[in-house]
Structure 1
C-alpha cells in the first residue's frame, strides 16, 4: 500500500537492512510490486529517482517475502496476493477519504448557505422597515393635506358690501337723462338777457321753484347709489352764480 502521506521515509539501504535482504533483492521486489500494481509511482522517489520507503511499504514487503518463502507460490503470485489486498485497502481508504472530504465540503456548503440565508433575511427585514417608514411618511403627508383642506373649507367667504344694495342703474340713468344738456353760448346769452329783464323777486322765485323741483326729484328717486355714483361731480346750473 502506498503511504505518500506519511512523513517517515527511508532510503533503500535502510529498508533492505530492516527486511534482512540485499539492496539488489529489494530493487527486484520493488520492480515486481510496481508491475503487479501497474503503478510506476507506487514508491516515492528522490530528485535522482531513487526509491524511498515508508514503514507501511516495509511491512508489506515483509509479508510478501514471508509468503514467497513459506508457500509454493511464485513471486508474482505472492505479490498479487499481498499487494492486491494492499491496493484494495488503499483504494477503500482513498474512497473513505474522498467521502469524508465530500461530507466536509457539503457541511461547509451548508454553513455558507445558512450564512447567505441569514444575510438575506437581514436585508429583507431592513427593506421592510424602510418600506414601513415610507408608508408612515406618506400617511402623515396625506393627513396634513386633509387638515389643510378642512381648514380651507371652514374659512368664511368674503362679504360683498354692495350685494344687499338695490340695483339703481336704471334710476341713475334716468336721472342723468333728465338733466339738461349743455347749452350753447347763444342760449346762455339769451337766458342772461331774459334774467336781466326780470325783477329781483322774479329771479328769487325762479331759483326757489327750481330748487323745489330738484328736491322733489331727489325724494322721488331712490337715493341709494354706489360709491362711484356718489363721487360724480355736481353739475353747476346757470343760477349758481347768483348763490355764490
Structure 2
C-alpha cells in the first residue's frame, strides 16, 4: 500500500513488518505505542483509512535498532526508544530543516527575480524619461540655433547700406605738397612770380570789364519800337480804377 505523504514509497502492513522484525504483531503494536509516546506524536506512523498503522522501510529499520538496543543493554524499552528515536528525530528535523532552507532559498530566488524584474522596469522607465528629456533639449537647441541665425541675418542687414545704388562719398582731394623755400633767393623768386601773375590777372580783368561795358552801351542805343512801348494788356487799367484801388 502507498500513502499520499510518501508517494512511490512502499508501506508495510503490521503483519509484514512484524515478520521482518521477527516479532509478533502484538509486540510490534507495543513497540509502536512506546515510540509514539516517546516522540509525543500519535501520528508518527502512517495509517490506513481504518486507522491501522503502516510502516516505511526507515520505520522498520528504527524498530529493529530499538529492539536490538533493548536486548543488549540494561536499558528499558522507553530509554532505548529515547536514544534511538532521538537520533531518528534529529535526522528528521535535519531533513525538515534542510527542506525548509531549500524552500526559503527558492522563495528568496523568486523574490530576487521579482526584484530584478522590478529594477529592470524602473531602469526602462528612467531610460524613457531620459530619452524624452534629450528630445526636448534637442528641440530647444534647434530653436535657439534658428534664433541665432535670424539675429545674424538682421545684423548683416543693419550693417549693409540702406540704398545699394548709393555711391560712396568721394574722398577729399589730397592737398598738394607746397614746397617751402629753404633760402632767401628762392623766396624772392617766388614773390616775383606772384607779382607777375597778379599783374596779368588785373590786366585780363580790365579788358573783360571794358568789353562788357561796350556791349551794354551798344544795346542801350538801339531805338525802341512802338510795340515795345505798348503797355501789356494784363497791366493796362482804366483811369477810374485808380480811385477804387486807392
TM-score by length of 2: 0.57
Instruction: Quote how far apart the aligned CAs of 1:155 are.
Output: 5.1
Paired with 2:130 and 2:14, the residues of 1 have a C-alpha distance of 72
Paired with 1:207 and 1:39, the residues of 2 have a C-alpha distance of 161
Q: Secondary structure at the match of 1:205?
A: coil
Question: Relative contact order: is structure 1 or structure 2 higher (C-alpha 8 Å, sep ≥ 6)?
Answer: 1
Q: Which of 23, 26, 30 is the equivalent residue of 1:24?
A: 26
The residue aligned with 1:140 is: 142
Superposition CA RMSD, Å: 2.9
Detail structure 1 runs of 4+ shifted over 6 Å in the superposition. Answer: 156-159
Instruction: Quote how far apart the aligned CAs of 1:79 are.
Output: 1.1
Paired with 1:111 and 1:205, the residues of 2 have a C-alpha distance of 121
The 5 Å alignment of 1:106-185 reads 106-152=108-154
The residue aligned with 1:163 is: none
Paired with 2:114 and 2:98, the residues of 1 have a C-alpha distance of 24
1:21-52: CA deviation from partner (whole Å, max 9, x where unpaired): 22222111111110000011111222222222
Aligned length: 164
The residue aligned with 1:45 is: 47
Q: Secondary structure at the match of 1:9?
A: coil
Paired with 2:11 and 2:120, the residues of 1 have a C-alpha distance of 48
Q: Secondary structure at the match of 1:89?
A: helix
- 1:97 counterpart = 2:126: no
- 1:66 counterpart = 2:95: no
The residue aligned with 2:56 is: 54
TM-score by length of 1: 0.57
Q: 1:207 to 1:113 in 2, by over 3 A?
A: farther
Paired with 1:123 and 1:153, the residues of 2 have a C-alpha distance of 45
Q: 1:207 to 1:131 in 2, by over 3 A?
A: farther
Moved more, 59-68 or 141-150: 141-150
Q: Secondary structure at the match of 2:27?
A: helix
- 1:205 counterpart = 2:207: no
1:156-180: CA deviation from partner (whole Å, max 9, x where unpaired): 7999xxxxxxxxxxxxxxxxxxxxx
Paired with 1:16 and 1:207, the residues of 2 have a C-alpha distance of 176
Q: 1:94 to 1:202 in 2, by over 3 A?
A: same
